[in-house]
Amino acid sequence: MHFVFITGGVASSLGKGIASAALATLLKSRNFRVRIRKLDPYLNVDPGTMSPYQHGEVYVTDDGAETDLDLGHYERFTNQSAKQTDSISSGKIYSNVLSKERKGDYLGATIQVIPHVTNEIKSFINSDIKNEDIIIYEIGGTVGDIESLPFLEAIRQIRNNKKISSALIHMTYIPYLSSADELKTKPTQHSVKELLNAGIQPDIIMCRSERRIDIDSISKISLFCNVKKESVIPALNAKSIYEVPLLYSKYGLDSVLLKHLGYKSKNHKLNLKPWNDLLKKIDKQKQLVKIGIVGKYTNLKDSYKSLNEALIHGGIENSVEVEIKWINSEELNNNNLISKLKECDGVLVPGGFGSRGVKGKITAIKYARENNIPFFGICLGMQLAVIEISRNVLKIKNANSSEFDQKSKSVIGLMTEWTKGNKIEKRDKNSDKGGTMRLGSYKAILSKKSKIYSIYKKNEIFERHRHRYEVNKKYVSKFQNKGYYFSGMSPDGLLPEVLESTNHSWFIGVQFHPELKSRPLKPHPLFVSFIKYCRNEKNKS
């Protein structure tokens, strides 16, 4: 088994997550058993309570972990599900150390970063390992950050153990100065010096740049950073992130790494045909489909990263290019909002928490419903569709969610509000934020004579959830009388999972997050169907 550590320097947001995922893809394409894990230096226990503006979306695994969005990149590229044990933060590390100290596990010792915190990091690195050939560890943050120091020290100790085979890849940024018309390698030299100060010599340096890196710059980096020329890998911008594995392979990233780990590349043939075929599909995209995403975190695209990618996957499968129009639901009045929606071929209202921007989302749902525009509601988006129909079709006065108004008619509520005496599924967990959070993969049963069944082509599905509130089951029959029915339910029949309309070309709301399971080589069927109907409705008009 081999460990590969990936660190970043000079600047944040260089794309270490995509680099890690692309490298894993190349290794898997050579038939290696690969796993990727994330070590984040921030002091939050996990991103679950962090604002999307601070850290992007919260990615949820099948087993219910709230993790960094990079795990989404890992899964999309490798088509391999991540686990709770594939992500940890400084907050979790320190929590574990302090918990052990309170229990007396350290026998009264003075607790210090070295050895107690670094030992806990090493314990995580060595935990839950099965039969993998290569495990890739992405270290969040930037070398030089105070928070990163314990992780670098733990890596130094691991690499100092001669019985352990490892490699360290350092990703840096090569800036271009227009006044000098020159790429500058000095920041990379300083970044590597920071690593050397921590006792770590990189084996491979990946150089992010918006311009082609000339041979003189590569030679200079090789000389001053003490790595071989072939181990200085250009990491240039790509037209599509799904082109990245091929670009890295072109510059020899996987070959150089395997040579360092003691493998002969010729004994492990590379098969990138699926990715080449994918890029051909992308090149064949002729028509443009505009999708309006009506949300409140639209100023930071990473807030909806998985959603963005799932729509792209649906577009690729339908040979159309998807243009996303980000519509901030709290900044616009009704007239401005509707004028923006008129430009869209489909409307999507994503998940979220809290009452901010709800009014604009409900306006968007009503407009899509009344004008036969394909509509897709996800999690909160489905709940708001239920509220909109309750108010404007069922004429239920003050219909709302108890999340927004405790005194209203709660067509949406905490499960504990209206499932008293009923058994709730086992993995529901209490949250410090109150209520009950459903996290991770749950089964739903689909009605056979429904649009959702025709999309999935099976009556049992497993999808990932992240929410506290559910549709109140007592209103189900009232919806059916008006042509809206819940075509997906939890196995016990208590929790509505899918809402659809018989009066509309494509009007579907789901309580789960299908975007989390969409892959470029295996697009999620809901997004494929949604984009298909958006294209068809556009062609009719």
Q: Is the CB of residue 294 less than 8 Å from the CB of residue 325?
A: no
Q: Answer whether 295's CB lies under 8 Å from 349's CB.
A: yes
**Beta carbons within 10 angstroms of residue 457's beta carbon:** 8
Look up 515 and say whether it is catalytic.
yes
Give pLDDT, residue 153.
Answer: 96
Options 260, 379, 470, 497, the catalytic residue: 379
Active-site annotation holder among 2, 313, 504, 513: 513
In this model, does residue 31 exceed pLDDT 60? yes
- Give yes or no for residue 423 having a pLDDT over 70: no
Least confident of 187-201, 222-236, 339-353, 405-419: 405-419
- Average pLDDT of 484-506? 93
Above 60 in pLDDT, residue 67? yes
Kindly report, residue by residue over 197-223, the tens digit of the pLDDT. Answer: 999 999 999 999 989 999 999 999 999
Pull the structure tokens for residue 289: 């489909």
Q: How far is CA 66 from CA 16, 158, 439, in A?
A: 20, 27, 8
Q: In 161-203, which ranges are continuous DSSP H helix?
A: 186-197
State the Cα–Cα distance between residues 15 and 70, nearest whole angstrom.
Answer: 9
How much of the chain, in percent, has pLDDT values that exceed 90? 72
The model's pTM is: 0.91
For residue 474, the tally of other CB atoms under 10 A from its CB is 9
Neighbouring CB atoms inside 10 A of 492's CB total: 12
User: What is the rounded distance in angstroms from the CA atom of residue 397 to the CA atom of residue 172?
Assistant: 58
Q: What are the φ and ψ backbone dihedral angles of 414, each rounded to 5 degrees?
A: -60, 145
Domains of the chain plus CATH, in order, are 2-90+123-278 (3.40.50.300), 284-540 (3.40.50.880)
- The pLDDT confidence band at residue 353, using thresholds 50, 70 and 90, is confident
Question: Could you give the CA distance from residue 463 to residue 456 in angstroms, rounded to a whole number?
Answer: 12
Which two tokens mark 522?
């295996």
Q: And the tokens for 15?
A: 């794309």
327 pLDDT more than 60: yes
Is the pLDDT at 426 greater than 60, yes or no?
Answer: no
CA distance 215 to 364: 53
Active site residue 513: yes
Q: Over range 77-97, report the average pLDDT.
A: 94
- Average pLDDT, stretch 515-522? 97
pLDDT at 206: 96
- Say how far apart CA 530 and CA 380 lie, in whole Å: 18
Give 418's pLDDT tier (boundaries 50, 70, 90): low
Instruction: Say yes or no to pLDDT of 343 above 60.
Output: yes
Per the DSSP assignment, residues forming a β-bridge with 471 are 412
Residue 419: CA count within 13 A, CB half-sphere: 21
For range 301-305, the mean pLDDT: 85
Residue that the structure tokens 């309580």 belong to: 511
Where do runs of H (alpha helix) occur along 133-265? 149-160, 186-197, 215-225, 244-250, 253-260
What does the pLDDT read at residue 265? 80
Task: Band the pLDDT of 331: cuts 50, 70, 90.
Answer: confident
pLDDT digit string, tens, across residues 121-161: 999 999 999 899 999 999 999 998 999 999 999 999 999 99
Going by pLDDT thresholds of 50, 70 and 90, the confidence category of residue 417 is: low
d(CA 311, CA 313): 5
Assess contact for 275 and 327: CB atoms under 8 A.
Answer: no
Mean pLDDT in residue range 46-53: 77
Distance separating alpha carbons of residues 369 and 357, to the nearest angstrom: 19
Report, as an integer, the average pLDDT of 356-361: 88
* Average pLDDT, rounded, for the chain: 90
* SS3 readout for 55-73: HCCCEECCCCCEECCHHHH
233 pLDDT band, cuts 50/70/90, is very high
Mean pLDDT for the stretch of residues 417-445: 60
The SS3 of residue 400 is strand
With a cut of 80, say whether residue 541 has pLDDT above it: no
**Band of the pLDDT at 427, cuts 50, 70, 90?**
very low
